[in-house]
Chain A
């Protein structure tokens, strides 16, 4: 259900706007604009409104909080920002839209970040005993 909605949004963004639904590119295009940023900002506003709409319509507040020390959230955020910029995309851009176009770059990128995420979780939880 949730996964299909992500796919429907990706197809709609291509059909109507001719754009790849990659969160890295959309966010970067708003904070450091090179081309048109207005539709990107509108997309971000819509995405941020999602938890509120769910709360209003169903009364449920979904767990979206990291139970982690702040330093870990900050280090994680910095590494994600650096990584997706050099890597040219993230889970949505490479993992969904890129693989759907059978892009070799996206397939390699997705395999790479899935493997390093797996290793990182293993090291933190099973070798370091968690945070």
Chain B
């Protein structure tokens, strides 16, 4: 139970950071990327401070033998830069540039009660399920 309360509180802190910083505000996101138009560079500070805190914090945390609620740290194991990584990231950017929401921005934005973030998240879930079905189909083809 304490484990779930902890996860919810961390999610809340994450969501507060996203909402306060403007990462859940599509107008701000699109202006950040509009360098030759209405450029708003303030999100550089947001990304910079999030990264700095995480970089320093991880140095201390990952030296410990294990996290508080688990037996081990779960870190991504893939190392290779492959086609799905680059192509997928490129497609993600096109979607981010069209709608102004990334996954971490859209989820907290649902709580605003506006229809836009809800429509976005439903479409995004469709994309995730479709992509995982495609990945499974590719994997079957590779085996056959």
Within 8 A of A (CB), among B19-58: 19-27, 30, 33-37, 45-55, 57-58
Interface size class of B (residues with CB under 8 A): 35 or more
Q: Are A48 and B129 in contact (CB under 8 A)?
A: no
Chain B, 56-87, contact with A by CB distance < 8 Å: what is the 0/1 string?
A: 01100110101111101111101111001111
Q: Are A72 and B103 in contact (CB under 8 A)?
A: no
Q: Are A47 and B107 in contact (CB under 8 A)?
A: yes
For the complex formed, measure the closest distance between the CB of B65 and the CB atoms of chain A, giving whole angstroms.
11
Q: Are A53 and B16 in contact (CB under 8 A)?
A: yes
- Which chain A residues border B50 with CB–CB below 8 Å? 3-4, 6-7, 10, 96
- Which chain B residues border A118 with CB–CB below 8 Å? 33, 35, 93, 97
Can you pick out 23 interface pairs between chain A and chain B where the beta carbons lie within 8 Å of each other? A5-B14, A5-B16, A7-B50, A17-B67, A20-B74, A27-B128, A38-B4, A39-B7, A42-B5, A44-B11, A50-B16, A64-B116, A76-B96, A78-B95, A85-B132, A88-B84, A92-B102, A92-B104, A95-B51, A105-B79, A109-B85, A113-B93, A118-B93
Query: Which residues on A are within 8 Å of B, measured CB to CB?
Result: 1-21, 23-24, 27-28, 31-32, 38-40, 42-54, 61-68, 70, 72-88, 90-92, 94-101, 103-105, 108-110, 112-122, 124-126
Query: Which residues on B are within 8 Å of A, measured CB to CB?
Result: 3-27, 30, 33-37, 45-55, 57-58, 61-62, 64, 66-70, 72-76, 78-81, 84-114, 116-117, 119-132, 135
